[in-house]
């Protein structure tokens, strides 16, 4: 739904710096969590995940954020 890029290291994918408990993208994280809570409070729990995803896209775009939706990729499984 939302693309995030990890910088440099493959070992850590957290939103925290290595030396402190301070979040790297604290303001953006709060906005995303706020949008998610608003969507959940309006739609209520128990619906299909795709509905929440679409509502999040609408909510985040409403506040001026650029949003990428999940991409589909073909999956091939070797037959045994």
pTM for this structure?
A: 0.59
CB proximity list for 15: less than 8 A, separation 6 or greater:
23, 24, 25, 29
pLDDT along the chain (80 residues), means of 10: 40 54 84 94 92 95 90 86
Cα angle for residues 63, 50, 29 (degrees, 5° grid): 40
15-21 contacts, C-beta under 8 A, 24 or more apart: none
Tell me if 29 sits within 8 A of 15, measured CB to CB.
Answer: yes
- DSSP, collapsed to helix, strand or coil, labels residue 23 as strand
């Amino acid at each position: 739904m939302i693309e995030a890029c990890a910088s440099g290291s493959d070992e850590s994918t957290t939103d925290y710096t290595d030396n402190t408990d301070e979040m790297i993208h604290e303001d953006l994280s709060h906005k995303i969590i706020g949008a998610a809570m608003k969507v959940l409070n309006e739609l209520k729990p128990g619906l299909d995940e795709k509905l929440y995803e679409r509502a999040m896209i609408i909510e985040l775009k409403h506040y001026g954020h650029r949003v990428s939706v999940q991409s589909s990729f073909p999956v091939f499984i070797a037959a045994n």
